[in-house]
Amino acid sequence: MPPYDISLILKLATKSQTKKVITRALMCIKDYGGIVGRLENLGEQTLPYKMKSQGVKHTKGFYMYAEADLPANSADKIAAILLKDHDILRPTIIRKEVENPRPCEKGECFFGEINNTEIALVKKYGSFTKQSV
């Protein structure tokens, strides 16, 4: 399953109401086969612009961030369900780019280079090199 970044902007509410909204969102992710790895509370912040939900304009929101592994075909379905939730102002699901590790990070690689003892045997003469035997 590919990794995804999920950010949610929630309406301002009490702690118990906010907890219920977050639980609903996480259960939606779980129902579609997702696994939430990390959940981060970013707190109450001023929105970059006024957001309208059910005819009410909001200037502040409660930000949440999660990292999750989702099946490839379920990200759009989860986003559609979260978008219909009345307490979520803006759900965003973005697929993370996975960095491929370098082949030599875990140990020494050998690509045919000469080692330090062989380097000492090679003497430079201007722009020419001569190997002493």
Q: What span, in angstroms and rounded, lies between the C-alpha atoms of 73 and 37?
A: 19
Q: 11-46 pLDDT, tens per residue?
A: 999 999 999 999 999 999 999 999 999 999 999 999
Query: pTM of the prediction?
Result: 0.70
User: And the tokens for 30?
Assistant: 């779980």
pLDDT for 132 equals: 58
Q: What is the DSSP string of 2-44?
A: -EEEEEEEEPP--HHHHHHHHHHHHHHHHHTT-EEEEEEEEEE
- Residue 2 vs residues 73, 99, 133: alpha-carbon distances, Å: 10, 12, 55
The answer to whether 7 and 63 are in contact (CB under 8 A) is: yes
pLDDT at 124 over 90: no
pLDDT for 28 equals: 95
pLDDT at 114 over 60: yes
Q: 48-57 pLDDT, tens per residue?
A: 999 888 888 9
Query: What torsion, rounded to 10 degrees, do the Cα atoms 3, 38, 45, 77 define?
Result: 40
- Set out the domains of the chain in order of their start, with CATH numbers: 3-95 (3.30.70.60)
Residues 6+ apart with CB under 8 A from 112: none
